[in-house]
Amino acid sequence: MTSLEFTSQVQKISSSLRPVAMNLTRDADDAKDLVQETLLKALLNKDKFKAGTNLKAWLYTIMRNTFINNYNKITKRSSNIDSTEYFQYFNTDENYITHNGATTDFVVRDINEAIASLGSDYRTPFMMYYIGYKYLEIAEKLQIPIGTVKNRIHIARKDLKAALHVYAPAGASRASTTEEAED
């Protein structure tokens, strides 16, 4: 088979490659690229095609293998992400780094004291909500209206925020004081 005959037959079959490429890639642009790459490989390797065999099947095989190779390249590239540059910025805020175990003990003690200082009308709904109860479940268990439950939890959170303001990130305490001034 001459080069001209080979090119002519490949050109005739090329239109039947597009639907298969679309089925593989699920994207019109990627399908066009896959067909072009398949045709380029076929024309570059025309000497490997044996006359008398199925040219269409040969082109489909080239396309399938090209798709698989491209897919493998993409998945390998995306799974080997160098994240060392990202991790140097991860959790660098000094408020979140514990340098001493005693500091954690102080924080936990302060939180427990702040919760204990809440009145039982506020502490009970707040702790139930913290454990995972929904507003409606708390209202049913305590036999109070759901609006009252929401209000008590809101007040408890506000009181805890005020009691634990020393642990607020820099800038957050200034924002909360301006909010309270507006209320």
Query: DSSP character for 54?
Result: -
pTM for this model (two decimals): 0.43
- Tell me the C-alpha distance between 11 and 39, whole Å: 9
- Tell me the C-alpha distance between 21 and 28, whole Å: 9
What pLDDT sits at residue 75?
77
What pLDDT sits at residue 2?
84
What pLDDT sits at residue 68?
92
What pLDDT sits at residue 32?
94
- Tell me the C-alpha distance between 58 and 50, whole Å: 10
What the chain holds in terms of domains, given with CATH numbers, is 1-80 (1.10.1740.10), 100-167 (1.10.10.10)
Query: DSSP character for 169?
Result: P
The distance between the two most distant Cα atoms of the chain, rounded to a whole number of Å, is 94
Q: What tokens appear for 148 in the block?
A: 């009252």
Scanning the chain, the segments in alpha helix (DSSP H) are 3-25, 28-44, 55-79, 84-87, 101-117, 120-131, 135-142, 146-163, 172-182
pLDDT tens, N- to C-terminus, the chain (183 residues) = 788 888 899 899 999 999 999 999 999 999 999 999 999 999 999 999 988 899 999 999 999 999 999 888 887 766 555 555 555 555 555 555 555 666 677 788 888 898 999 998 999 999 999 888 899 999 999 999 999 999 999 999 999 999 988 877 766 655 555 455 555
